[in-house]
Amino acid sequence: MQQIISSFNSTLNSSNTNSVRRLGINSNHWYVVARSNEVNKTPISVKVWHQSIVLYRDSTGKVVALEDRCPHRQVKLSHGQVINDKLECAYHGWQFNSRGECAAVPYLAANQKLPSCQIRHYPVTEQNGFIWLFPGNEAPKTEPMGVPEWDHLNYIATVSVINTQAHYSYLIENLMDMYHGHLHQDLQAWAEASLQNIDEDENSIHAHYTAQSYYRIDKIWSISQLFFPSLRRLHPEPLDVSYIYPHWVSTLGKDFKIYCLLCPVSETQTKAYLIHFTSLNAFWRLHKLPIWFRRLIKNSLFGSAQKLLDGLVIQDIKMIEEEQQAFLQNSAIKNYELNRALVSVQKLMKNQLKS
Ligand code: FES
Ligand SMILES: [Fe+2]
């Protein structure tokens, strides 16, 4: 198999490669625009592919997503406040309901009707600790991908936010190309990746690598390997990475699962949430303990991989942003590619724009 991979030696021609760097998004998917704990009664502004959107919670706790634009004078509604579940513009106090309709104007004369102006409202749902938004014009036909481990008592979560001045294709290619473990050698995340095979369909690519993992979570104390490098021992594990448009999921052996939930902002800016889970599935004795105690363990170990995850993000962002800058300076320059998973990734990104 190694020979097959080694013999695969393609250079992506420059026009193909470069066009990916200006691709838009397929907006008929669910994107992750915020963490649940970022949204409350005070409006916040988020951006998905050039669309400014205001988020707030109503009195029942439900999240509302509206176009962040007052139709009166085009200022941002996110400067305003929520009054009786309606979003009030900061400028003249017009109010908008959760469907984006103008519901009140404080100085409306008795002989005047409410203006018929309406702003866009978006399908939005809260699931597994994140706010999922559907920016497409069609009605959603699918459910958000979700992150089931977020609520599962056997998984310890760590979250790192990626904010990078680069097109989302650079981020996805970074995440799908496990040969870049070279960059993270000092952080000891994984080593010796070798691509074995790829499964793909129109919405996803699953690249299967073999690799060496530094961590083995088989005793409860072994979680301390996340903090103490001297406890780590290299051993072989399967390393699977999946691009499930527009998001990314990875597993390293049975002990680790990582998600990258995307929110592309523009051709040169991408936001994403990287979520690392350490599995406690191996500890059957733990599973017999009372739920409240297991929840206490889960909550108190939250963020235990923070240093590792933040370190990986810093190193990746540096490379991704340099790639973006090089492209902006000379978009005709040619890349060379040896990893066939990336050929599939670029093809899928382009095909998503045709569908
Ligand atoms: S600009 Fe929003 S109420 Fe006037
Ligand atoms: Fe990385």
For the chain, domains (ranges, CATH) are: 31-133 (2.102.10.10), 148-354 (3.90.380.10)
Tokens of 223: 């979680």
> pLDDT at residue 196 above 60?
yes
Name the residue among 2, 52, 47, 34 with its Cα closest to residue 195: 2
> pLDDT of 58-99, one tens digit each?
999 999 999 999 999 999 999 999 999 999 999 999 999 999
> pLDDT of 270-325, one tens digit each?
999 999 999 888 787 788 889 999 999 899 989 988 999 999 999 999 999 999 99
Q: Is the CB of 119 under 6 A from ligand 1?
A: no
> pLDDT at residue 174 above 60?
yes
CA distance 138 to 223: 45
DSSP at 203:
S
Cβ density class 250-265: b for 16+ within 10 Å, e for less = bbbbebbbbbbbbbbb
CA distance 58 to 40: 8
pLDDT at residue 234, as a whole number: 83
Report CA torsion sign: 223, 301, 193, 253.
positive
pLDDT at residue 153, as a whole number: 92
Q: Is the CB of 94 under 6 A from ligand 1?
A: yes
**Best residue for ligand 1 mutational test, from 86, 89, 105 (most atoms within 8 Å of Cβ):** 89
Query: What phi and psi values does residue 271 have, to the nearest 5 degrees?
Result: -110, 145
* Averaged pLDDT for residues 155-161: 96
Are residues 142 and 30 in contact, defined by beta-carbon separation less than 8 angstroms?
Answer: yes
Contacts of 302 (CB under 8 A, 6+ apart): 156, 157, 158
> pLDDT at residue 5 above 70?
no
Orientation of helix 168-176 relative to helix 306-329, angle to 10°: 130
> pLDDT of 115-143, one tens digit each?
999 999 999 999 999 999 999 998 999 99
State the closest ligand 1 atom to the C-alpha of 105, by its place in the atom list counted from 1. Answer: 3
Orientation of helix 340-354 relative to helix 168-176, angle to 10°: 140
Alpha carbon nearest to ligand 1 atom 1, residue? 73
State in Å: Cα 263 to ligand 2 middle: 18
> pLDDT at residue 242 above 70?
yes
Name the residue among 46, 45, 17, 65 with its Cα closest to residue 265: 46
Give me the residue label for tokens 């979520």.
275
> pLDDT of 201-226, one tens digit each?
989 999 999 998 887 777 667 677 77
> pLDDT at residue 18 above 70?
no
Q: Answer whether 0.95 is exceeded by the pTM.
A: no
Q: Is the CB of 91 under 6 A from ligand 1?
A: yes
Question: Mean pLDDT across the chain, nearest whole number?
Answer: 91
pLDDT at residue 355, as a whole number: 66
Ligand closest to 119 (CA) is: 1
* Averaged pLDDT for residues 338-347: 96
